[in-house]
């Protein structure tokens, strides 16, 4: 099977199996402890009657307005988790809890129909506002909390609430101190009041309907990952040779105190992707492709890194990749096409307002993608009452 030749033997043996035949269960899996931790956190906050159903599916998300939480199936099995780590970025314990708290925010919104109340609409905006996969955030805005990568609270009012709930729910988040004097504090106080009010109240919708479950997934493991890889965005043509040779400017003849620069980048890939996604707001799959493209080109050029200067290289490559990412935010491309008659120059990472984000600041508008949760299903602005107009999933 193309792309899986280097997979370990124990992974190779399950590639051809339909996912529904793997016998995956949340109960007894490595995921169970995280779900129980979520329930304990809800209990500690006084929410005694709210326990959203969690189930295994293809990606993170809440189905259209349903108070249930879908969790990626690969997190329930060590072999699949190992494959996911090779093919994509595997969530660590911290990230799993961040996603669960965020999805719990969606679920409680739907369970108690909070989005229908005037106060919710006044604080977070119209729930029926259309979802847009591409939106232009306002970096460092204090009108929104910061929880997941990519200024995700700015994507949609429903996401704003889910992110606010997640910050409020997180143990030791110190939200009263961290968000003191921020306009976002009004939203956090609302969540705190709401939780106290609903602590002993039964949900309006105690149960919800799942979408596709792991028992219904007919695709084989290999087909699932092939489809996922084919759907990932491309960073486009990147002519970066001059820049990369300038960053890793080591003589090819040097033998001592050096190692392949691609090896250095590979070891730090996950950290680079996480930080670039968080601070730039560009969608994670696209940032990952950018970092992989840089890493692969560095390998093809056989560039070397001096071991004594590794921190310096990582600093410069981070700044360089950030400049590329902000180019994408401002212009829709990592490397804008040169105008006819204009010579190409090395990408500049300094200069006043060179990469300033401009344009329509209204939430949901703009051309820059800022999807912070690549492992989440396509979103739509929906509720029990609203599925007539919009069908999809909140993530």
Work out the end-to-end distance of the chain between its first and last CA atoms, rounded to an integer number of angstroms.
32
Which pLDDT does position 280 carry in this prediction?
87
Pairwise pLDDT comparison (299 vs 327), residue with the higher score = 299
Measured at the alpha carbon of residue 125, what is the angle toward residues 121 and 131, in degrees to the nearest 5? Answer: 125
For 186, what's the count of Cα atoms within 13 Å in the CB-facing half-sphere? 10
DSSP 8-state secondary structure symbol assigned to residue 377: P
- In this prediction, residues 34-57 reach a mean pLDDT of 97
- In this prediction, residues 52-58 reach a mean pLDDT of 97
Pairwise pLDDT comparison (296 vs 341), residue with the higher score = 296
- In this prediction, residues 8-35 reach a mean pLDDT of 92
Which pLDDT does position 318 carry in this prediction?
96
Check whether 26 has a pLDDT greater than 70: yes
Q: Which of 133-137, 147-151, 319-323 has the lowest mean pLDDT?
A: 133-137
β-strand 53-57 against 68-72: which pairing, if any?
parallel
Instruction: Encode 365-375: b = buried (16+ Cβ within 10 Å), e = exposed.
Output: ebebbbbbbbb
175-227, pLDDT tens digit by residue? 999 999 999 999 999 999 999 999 999 999 988 999 999 999 999 999 998 88
Q: How many CB atoms lie within 10 A of CB 335?
A: 18
Cα(144)–Cα(104) distance, integer angstroms: 18
Task: Give me the chain's average pLDDT, please.
Answer: 84
Q: Taking Cα atoms as reference points, which of 122, 162, 126, 164 lies closest to residue 142?
A: 164
Cα(353)–Cα(375) distance, integer angstroms: 33
Check whether 27 has a pLDDT greater than 50: yes
Which pLDDT does position 354 carry in this prediction?
26
Q: Give the dihedral of Cα atoms 287, 319, 262, 327; nearest 10 deg.
A: 40
Q: How confident is the model at residue 253 (pLDDT cuts 50, 70, 90)?
A: confident
pTM: 0.76
Q: Give the dihedral of Cα atoms 234, 239, 243, 248; nearest 10 deg.
A: 70
Which pLDDT does position 252 carry in this prediction?
86
- In this prediction, residues 153-168 reach a mean pLDDT of 96
Q: Taking Cα atoms as reference points, which of 55, 57, 71, 74 lies closest to residue 15?
A: 74
Check whether 373 has a pLDDT greater than 80: no
Which pLDDT does position 64 carry in this prediction?
81
Q: What does the block give as tokens for 324?
A: 């590329």
Cα(275)–Cα(87) distance, integer angstroms: 19
Instruction: Encode 69-101: b = buried (16+ Cβ within 10 Å), e = exposed.
Output: bbbbbbbbbebbebbbeebbbbbeeebbbbbbb
Q: How confident is the model at residue 151 (pLDDT cuts 50, 70, 90)?
A: confident
Residues 214, 227 contacting (CB under 8 angstroms):
no
Q: Which residue has the tokens 């969790």?
A: 71
Q: What does the block give as tokens for 162?
A: 């889910």
Which pLDDT does position 339 carry in this prediction?
53
- In this prediction, residues 241-253 reach a mean pLDDT of 92
- In this prediction, residues 245-253 reach a mean pLDDT of 92
Cα(321)–Cα(272) distance, integer angstroms: 9
DSSP 8-state secondary structure symbol assigned to residue 18: B
């Amino acid at each position: 099977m193309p792309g899986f030749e280097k997979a370990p033997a124990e992974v190779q043996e399950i590639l051809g199996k339909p996912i529904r035949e793997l016998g995956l269960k949340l109960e007894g899996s490595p995921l169970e402890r995280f779900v129980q931790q979520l329930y304990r956190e809800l209990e500690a906050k006084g929410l005694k009657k709210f326990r959203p159903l969690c189930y295994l599916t293809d990606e993170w998300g809440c189905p259209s307005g349903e108070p249930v939480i879908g969790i990626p199936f690969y997190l329930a099995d060590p072999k699949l988790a190992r494959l996911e780590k090779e093919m994509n970025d595997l969530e660590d314990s911290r990230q799993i809890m961040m996603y669960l708290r965020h999805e719990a925010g969606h679920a409680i919104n739907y369970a108690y129909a909070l989005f229908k109340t005037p106060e919710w609409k006044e604080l977070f905006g119209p729930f029926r506002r259309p979802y847009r996969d591409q939106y232009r955030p306002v970096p460092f805005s204090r009108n929104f909390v910061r929880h997941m990568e990519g200024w995700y609270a700015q994507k949609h009012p429903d996401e704003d609430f889910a992110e606010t709930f997640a910050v409020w729910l997180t143990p030791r988040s110190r939200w009263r101190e961290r968000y003191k004097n921020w306009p976002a504090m009004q939203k956090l106080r609302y969540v705190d009041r709401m939780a106290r009010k609903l602590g002993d109240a039964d949900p309006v919708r105690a149960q919800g309907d799942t979408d596709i479950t792991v028992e219904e997934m007919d695709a084989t493991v290999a087909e699932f990952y092939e489809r996922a890889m084919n759907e990932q965005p491309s960073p486009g043509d990147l002519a970066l040779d001059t820049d990369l040779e300038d960053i890793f400017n080591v003589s090819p003849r040097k033998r001592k105190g050096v190692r392949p620069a691609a090896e250095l980048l590979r070891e730090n890939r996950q950290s680079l992707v996480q930080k670039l996604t968080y601070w730039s707001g560009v969608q994670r799959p696209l940032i990952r492709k950018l970092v992989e493209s840089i890493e692969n080109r560095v390998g093809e050029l056989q560039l070397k890194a001096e071991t004594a200067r590794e921190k310096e290289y990582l600093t410069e490559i981070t700044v360089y990749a950030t400049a590329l990412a902000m180019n994408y935010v401002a212009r829709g491309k990592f490397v804008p096409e040169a105008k006819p008659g204009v010579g190409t120059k090395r990408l500049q990472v300094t200069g006043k307002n060179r990469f300033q984000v401009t344009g329509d600041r209204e939430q949901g508008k703009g051309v820059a993608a800022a999807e912070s949760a690549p492992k989440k299903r396509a979103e739509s602005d929906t509720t029990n009452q609203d599925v007539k107009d919009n069908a999809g999933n909140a993530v």
